[in-house]
Amino acid sequence: MTEADQIGESALTSLRRILRVVDTHSRELARTASLTASRLVVLKILANGPTTAGTIAERAGISQTTVTLLLNKLEAMALVRRQRSEDDRRRVWVELTPQGRAAIDKAPDLLQDVFLQRFRKLPSWEQHGIAASLSRITYLLDADALDAAPLLDVGPIDRAAT
């Protein structure tokens, strides 16, 4: 086996470990809190107070259409409540319910939060190197054109929790 093959296998092993930890975390989140990572992100945004779907979309880095689908599911689970503004009937405010607050409290930390907390502690040159390497990997896997949100989760963002 050539050195390039050994390095390539090491890189693939690291990628597999990343995929496994994301999958394991997603399953744990579904098991302990009956949530997906994207739903928990929305709930955590709402923990700061009532806001609009557009603001949620902006803060989460996902489309307003996806936020609407997520809110529909969270509302059906009685975790959020929507209320039309009395001042401007076009504006709809979204807020947590007590059940939504309880879901946040019992959910494990989001994997992307753990990643970002540790990533921020790295020196700038290392942050840039990691970002460049990951960008190159997406290119090598023909994944650079895929639409993706900054969420460490598997499957579609608006899928049902299993």
Q: Percent of the chain, pLDDT > 70?
A: 94
Q: What is the CATH number of domain 3-140?
A: 1.10.10.10
Neighbours of 66 (CB within 10 A): 19
pLDDT (average), residues 80-90: 83
Above 70 in pLDDT, residue 88?
yes
| Long-range contact set of residues 89-93: C-beta below 8 Å, sequence gap at least 24 | 91/52, 92/52, 92/53, 93/50, 93/51, 93/52
Q: Which of 66-70, 91-95, 150-154 has the lowest mean pLDDT?
A: 150-154
pLDDT (average), residues 55-64: 90
How many Å apart are CA 33 and CA 36, to the nearest integer?
Answer: 8
CA 64, 68, 71 angle in degrees (round to 5)?
130
Domain ranges of the chain: 3-140
**Residue 161, pLDDT score:** 40
Q: Which of 53-62, 66-75, 123-132, 139-148 has the lowest mean pLDDT?
A: 139-148
Pairing of strands 92-96, 80-84: antiparallel
pLDDT (average), residues 64-78: 94
**Residue 162, pLDDT score:** 36
Above 70 in pLDDT, residue 157?
no
- What would the pLDDT profile of 96-153 be if each residue is shown by its tens digit? 999 999 999 989 888 989 999 999 999 999 999 999 999 999 999 998 888 777 777 7
- What's the mean pLDDT when you consider all of the chain? 89
Sign of CA pseudo-dihedral 122, 124, 125, 127: positive
**Residue 115, pLDDT score:** 94
